[in-house]
Chain A
Amino acid sequence: MGRKIVFELNGTRAVAEMHDEEVPKTCDAIWDILPVEGMSIHANWAGREIMLHLEGDKYLQLPPEGKKSHGGLAPGDINFFFRAPGLARGKQAAYSEQMRRGLSEFAIFYGDPAGGGLAAQDPTRRGDTSRFVSTKFAHFIDSPPEFLKKCEEIRHKGLQKLVVKRLES
């Protein structure tokens, strides 16, 4: 049994279990920065995914750990995602000053990820994996429909506050 974390979004909550055995260092690093809160943003390539950027003292730059998770995403998966500076362009880089340094985020798949998307062909996913890290570190074990609906609503309403915290036993 892994440690559990809670996601709170607009009056709804979901619980995920961390993959402590598979990716212990990643889980430890994430556990140590919790709670994290910020404005969650909807993906525009990856499908039914919302993201929470890690900024300031919550910023993480972690090495790859465990099996390469990309290509095997499923609804309910939660990944730590890192993309090195200089690998993104465009206005999205202006979303936060932090992204100019590098993108560090929780990638929260509340539904189907993109099957054959551009992201899957991202050349940075080959070769030097320190520049691109995508580690599956948790999976929802309780994600009620109202929580999933709030995730989807970010498409319609724009950025929404998301809190991620430890579920202490």
Chain B
Amino acid sequence: MPNAASAEPTGRRIRISLPAEGVSAIADLVEDDAPNTSAAIWDLLPLRIRAIHDIWSGHLVLAHLDNKVQIDPENVLTYIPVPGDIFYYYRPARYFSGSPYGRSESAELGIVYARDTRPQGPRGPEAVNLFANISTGLEDLARACEDMIYSGQKELLIERVD
């Protein structure tokens, strides 16, 4: 059974930081399995955006991108991300029926920082594009991510590691 998270890194890496917390981690892009997503996200960097804790999925934080960042499904991993996985997710307008979700288009990045996590929305699991996995620094980053449950959103910085 293929496991995208364990795929060998092909070279390009990104740094995930929470500057106010003084923590950062390095992630390897999973370019073999998600070349389009990896390239699209790489082209956006550096990104300085607000991260907020998820309320449906467990131990993950998410950050909203400009909704114009629309990437086709690729390397979708619905049920079993592992800690350190980073994914892209896009929900078009009217994807759900009813208010408020039926109106809300959203392009997002998600960072899974601990076990017992499954990307999902108000109606259950969602397919996401897994495009990177954290190789170093997850422990400190995870601590700061979980703190968002208690202290609210934080600024997130994503940069290329050249």
Contact = CB atoms under 8 A, between A and B. Distances in A.
A36 to B, nearest CB: 19
A150 to B, nearest CB: 13
A112 to B, nearest CB: 5
Interface of A: 41-49, 90-92, 95, 112, 114-118, 154-159
A114 B124 CA distance: 7
Contacts of B149: 41-42, 44, 92, 158
26 contacts: A41-B150, A42-B53, A42-B149, A43-B55, A44-B53, A44-B57, A47-B55, A47-B56, A47-B122, A90-B59, A90-B114, A91-B143, A92-B149, A95-B150, A114-B122, A114-B124, A115-B122, A115-B123, A116-B124, A117-B124, A118-B116, A155-B53, A156-B152, A157-B153, A158-B152, A159-B150
A116 to B, nearest CB: 3
A87 to B, nearest CB: 12
Report whether over half of chain A's contact residues are helix, strand or loop; otherwise say mixed. Answer: mixed
A114 B93 CA distance: 20
Contacts of A42: 53, 55, 149
A151 B73 CA distance: 33
A156 B153 contact: yes
Nearest to B124: A116
Nearest to B146: A91
A118 B122 contact: no
Contact of A45 (B58, B125, B143, B150): B58
Given A41-B150, A91-B146, 7 more contacts: A46-B56, A48-B122, A114-B56, A114-B120, A156-B153, A158-B148, A159-B150
